[in-house]
Amino acid sequence: MVIYVDIFSFGNFIVNLFLLFVLVKSLGIKMNYKKCLLSSSIGTVYALLVLYSNLNIILSNLLIKLIVELLMVAVVVGHKNLMLLLKSSLLFLSFTFLLAGFMIFIEINGKSTIYLFIYRIRATDIITGIMILILILDRLYYFLKERISTTNYIFEIEINMFNKCIKINSFLDTGNELKEPITNLPVVLLEKDLIDDALIDADKCYLIPYNTADGTKGTMKAFKPERFAINKDGNFMEKEVIIAIADVKFSKENEYKALLNKALLI
């Protein structure tokens, strides 16, 4: 029997990824595709070593198999919670046995090949294709859901500053509760590339203290614009705000270049 490395690797990788997908859904934890891809790759490399390496007798040992399976699960669910890791490993093994049993059943009792129009296709290839389709549809569903959710929080804003007017998209950041300590005005964060902070008069400059979720502390240079307005349902509403200059990029796709304070739309 001839086994092609590329076909074997791809099929093994997809099966590993699908089993991890089912595991994550069963546990009700958030799907981390990077971790699942890494874990699937570990399983595929192991399978290739068993198939083609001179150490296949050692690597085929049951204890080694369990260690690799435990490592794959640990990559996805973490290793700090021992009970969760053991539970996840048992579930993963159960799903693996069920899938293997189903494949064997098809090979023995069903038709191992199916004719689709004029093409002769193996039943196992069709099952692999279904796995790929499920993975793609799941990713597409969450991508569209995230896009729709993000769109609902994007607002056009208009800022008059330093004798010019800019119109940009902004994102309503529900975690942005920054307020300027003296005026108590809400703070809107603006990307640094939109403004030359050298234009801010020293006597009109504010320093906004901030704390991030990772414990980082610091201050941002800020100023009060001549005019600030938010487009809500086609109408621009003027608001009093403080604009803080952030040395970060808020959106990789440039969908928005400012973060609104949630107090502005309450």
Q: How confident is the model at residue 4 (pLDDT cuts 50, 70, 90)?
A: low
DSSP 30: P
pLDDT tens sequence across 218-230: 788 888 888 999 9
Spatial CA neighbour of 73 closest among 39, 99, 37, 100: 39
Overall average pLDDT of the 226-252 stretch: 87
| Mean pLDDT, rounded, of the chain | 82
DSSP 179: B
Overall average pLDDT of the 157-184 stretch: 85
Q: Is pLDDT at 72 greater than 90 in this prediction? A: yes
C-alpha distances in angstroms, 14 versus 11, 28, 40, 44, 131? 5, 21, 8, 9, 7
- Of 16-20, 199-203, 244-248, the poorest mean pLDDT is in 199-203
pLDDT top residue among 258 and 181: 258
Q: How confident is the model at residue 76 (pLDDT cuts 50, 70, 90)?
A: very high
Overall average pLDDT of the 165-177 stretch: 84
Of 40-49, 151-160, 232-241, highest mean pLDDT: 40-49
Is 214 considered catalytic here? no
- Residue 228 Rama label (left phi>0; alpha psi -120 to 50; beta): beta
Of 53-62, 103-112, 123-132, highest mean pLDDT: 123-132
> What sign for the dihedral angle of Cα 27, 33, 35, 37?
positive
Provide the pLDDT for residue 110.
56
Residue length of the chain: 266
Q: How confident is the model at residue 111 (pLDDT cuts 50, 70, 90)?
A: low
Output the six-digit token pair for 193: 């590339």
Buried b (16+ CB within 10 A) or exposed e, 120-150: eeeeeeebbeebeeebeeeeeeeeeeeeeee
pLDDT tens sequence across 202-220: 777 888 877 766 667 778 8
- Of 27-31, 106-110, 124-128, the poorest mean pLDDT is in 106-110
> What sign for the dihedral angle of Cα 181, 182, 185, 188?
negative
**Which member of 6, 125, 173, 233 is catalytic?**
173
